[in-house]
Structure 1
Amino acid sequence: MNAPIRIEFHILQSFPVTCLNRDDLGAPKTALIGGALRARVSSQCWKRQVRLALPTFGVKLATRTRQAQLLFARACRRVGASDALAQECGQCLADLIVSDALLFISDTEAAAFAEYARALDFEKARFKERDLARIAKKVINPAVDALDIALFGRMVARAPDMNIEAAASFSHAISTHRVANELEFFTALDDLQPGPGSAHMGSMEFNSATYYRYISLDVGQLAQTLASEDLQQAVDAFVRALFVAVPGARQASQSGASPWEFARVLVRRGQRLQASFEAPVTDQGHGYLQPSIEALKAYLDKKEKLSGSLFGKLAAYDWGEDERFSIDDLIGRLRTHVS
């Protein structure tokens, strides 16, 4: 099988009272799966937290913005344009490639666009969209300041040559069991109020859940833009960010700070495989985590047997049960598969 290597993370993570990801009414997000209501955290919510955790591990992020003209203007000033001319050129460069959407752009690309403008004497009429796309494709360097673009992908409608396929794929996190959102009633007291009574009353919804998370990292896709040594460092930083990232909703009032409980990490060449937990696990008197671990292991073991040679397994690592096998040990093993 010549399919690219993929690292798949099957993670179980338990949170007590939390509202990790809110809907438009401020309630915890949910989904109906297998006829049972489940807690849900959207893929984009957890993905953003992973991205924001990357700098902790030495990664310089690109910028996602609707105001790309500001980045381009700043870069033009650095190469000699006056303030007024830089603003004009920055706006022109942005107008050529940015539609009504966020643009994912690296400092390296912005600097290259500015050099292009300088070579044309900052004459806006000479700027060409196809030239910018060609420059971006040539200079983007995820090992320097755009690893997040390589991981999470980029689509530029006006300049398709700048498009980059995402190497990382995130599912929505779902509870492995039935969940019913609950309501917290709270009051606030006024320090200067002379008499008894509440100065403010309110309510907020919350739940508690053991979540199943599925993340796939296409090493082949990532390798298209990274050298071998950089690829190892990228996998290292990505796994560490994946380990520490937690959605930020209501952290001040409910402090959802629970780490991974269990993970099965597969290195494979087969098609992606996500567990569905279509049948919700039930509490057997010891919580939902242990039955979730057992259900996940059984599901993946069964799929491996049924898939035969198409499963394409190169390695499998269970994390969370053997105290002698830390996250550093797991990352060390994974690095050997991308050398």
Structure 2
Amino acid sequence: MTTFLQFHLLTSYGPSNPNRDDQGRPKQAVVGGAPRLRMSSQSIKRALRESSFFALDLKDSRGTRTKHLHGRLVEYLAGKGVSEEGAVKAASEVAGLFGKLETVNKGEGKETRATTLAFISPAEWKQAEEWVDKIVAGEELPKPKDLKKLILRKADGAVDIAMFGRMLADDADFNRDAAVQVAHAITTHTAQAEEDWFSAVDDLNKKEDTGAGHLGETAFGSGIYYQYVCVNCDLLIENLDGDTDLAAKGVEALARAIAQTAPRGKQNSFAHHPMAYHIRAERGPRAPRDLSGAFFTPVDRKLRELGANELETGSVRAMEQTAERIDRCYFGGEAEDFRKLDTLTGDGTLGEIVRFAVEAVRGA
């Protein structure tokens, strides 16, 4: 029986632009016929992977998403005194196993790199280096199909690959199904992007020209975002080749990171460093369900119905009432095992949420 660990978070963002669209504006979505601000799942997952919780706590257990394995292998061999021709040949043999290679112009020279990003685990990177060493030493190579099985892994110790999955376009056998699903975050209420005009003044220009030295424009927005994350604990352990301790360590980092980490777009301009003010963590064998339906009618349109005077409390009540109603209609009013943190009331702690999450993995 599969154990699912689910997180529902509410986080308040002041004026900021953490995740931009192609025009530099905050990403948006229309939900329930009302405009909302949005942060993409991809931007959130990258923020989690780049967070200090992953970087420090999982230092030796993180994958690398890159097109540049070929170039790094060439540098690795060149550092050992291998000729450029020999290094390029060996690197091409091995890097080509992760995806097709192409040669592109770079400055005054050329660079060989993959056509698509490959998510490479530490174990695979180590094997790649070992095999280019063998190639330049003149050892006979297995057939490409056999060599691929010696280098690529279907399960290993890369926590972020185990969590967020990977796709190798040239060989689906080594794809990894994501054990952690991350939804797009949306504001619980009606919200739209705004424009800010700004100017810069020339410090040495005091009298001659009183106008601005530079005029610019930037977009921003603010709001309370609902974020949903679902962990398939059994699949996470399977993706880590049965290493329950590493899976638990990864979930601990995830639980801390999702509460305290945000995409870093325009960070220097807006200094957004929010922490979730309300978290509901659930664990058990029931089929996962998100609580975004609580916000299809924007909270700002139903504050009286919710018995709230402001958006923070209204968002909490909308979410918790939806969870209770689902439990009532589907499960006879019985809730799954859950824990809460709420900074509005001072109830619960992040430490309790983290322990609860780790126990879910160890009990899977």
TM-score > 0.5 by shorter chain: yes
Partner of 1:281: 299
1:338 match: secondary structure: helix
One-letter code of the match for 1:52? E
Aligned positions of 1:216-295 closer than 5 A: 216-224=230-238, 225=240, 226-276=242-292, 277-282=295-300, 284=303, 286-295=309-318
The 1-side partners of 2:128 and 2:154 are apart by 10
Q: Is the CA contact (8 Å cut-off) linking 2:154 and 2:176 kept in structure 1?
A: no
The 1-side partners of 2:169 and 2:253 are apart by 30
Pick aligned residue for 2:188 from 176, 179, 197? 176
Partner of 2:63: 62
CA shift, 1:110, in A, is 2.0
TM norm structure 1: 0.89
CA shift in 2, pair 1:103/1:127, >3 Å: farther
Aligned positions of 1:7-22 closer than 5 A: 7-22=5-20
Pick aligned residue for 1:131 from 146, 157, 163? 146
Q: Percent identity?
A: 26
TM norm structure 2: 0.83
2:272 match: secondary structure: coil
CA shift, 1:10, in A, is 0.5
CA shift in 2, pair 1:67/1:137, >3 Å: closer
Say whether 1:301 aligns with 2:315. Answer: no
1:21 match: secondary structure: coil
Partner of 1:113: 128
Pick aligned residue for 1:189 from 183, 192, 201? 201
The 1-side partners of 2:56 and 2:130 are apart by 31
5+ residue gaps in structure 1? none
Q: Is the CA contact (8 Å cut-off) linking 1:133 and 1:162 kept in structure 2?
A: no
CA shift, 1:127, in A, is 5.3
2:286 match: secondary structure: coil
Partner deviation per Cα, 1:200-248 (whole Å, 9 max, x = no partner)? 1122221111000011111111110242222221211221222221111
CA shift in 2, pair 1:139/1:96, >3 Å: closer
One-letter code of the match for 2:337? A
1:282 match: secondary structure: helix
The 1-side partners of 2:7 and 2:246 are apart by 21
Q: Is the CA contact (8 Å cut-off) linking 2:94 and 2:131 kept in structure 1?
A: no
1:97 match: secondary structure: coil
CA shift in 2, pair 1:132/1:210, >3 Å: farther
Pick aligned residue for 1:202 from 207, 216, 225? 216
CA shift in 2, pair 1:74/1:304, >3 Å: farther
CA shift, 1:151, in A, is 1.0
5+ residue gaps in structure 2? 101-114
CA shift in 2, pair 1:63/1:245, >3 Å: same
One-letter code of the match for 2:213? A
The 2-side partners of 1:159 and 1:74 are apart by 26
1:274 match: secondary structure: coil
RMSD: 2.5
The 1-side partners of 2:50 and 2:149 are apart by 28
CA shift in 2, pair 1:168/1:129, >3 Å: farther
1:205 match: secondary structure: strand
CA shift, 1:181, in A, is 1.9
Pick aligned residue for 1:158 from 166, 170, 173? 170
What count of residue pairs does the alignment treat as equivalent?
Answer: 332
One-letter code of the match for 1:194? K
1:23 match: secondary structure: coil
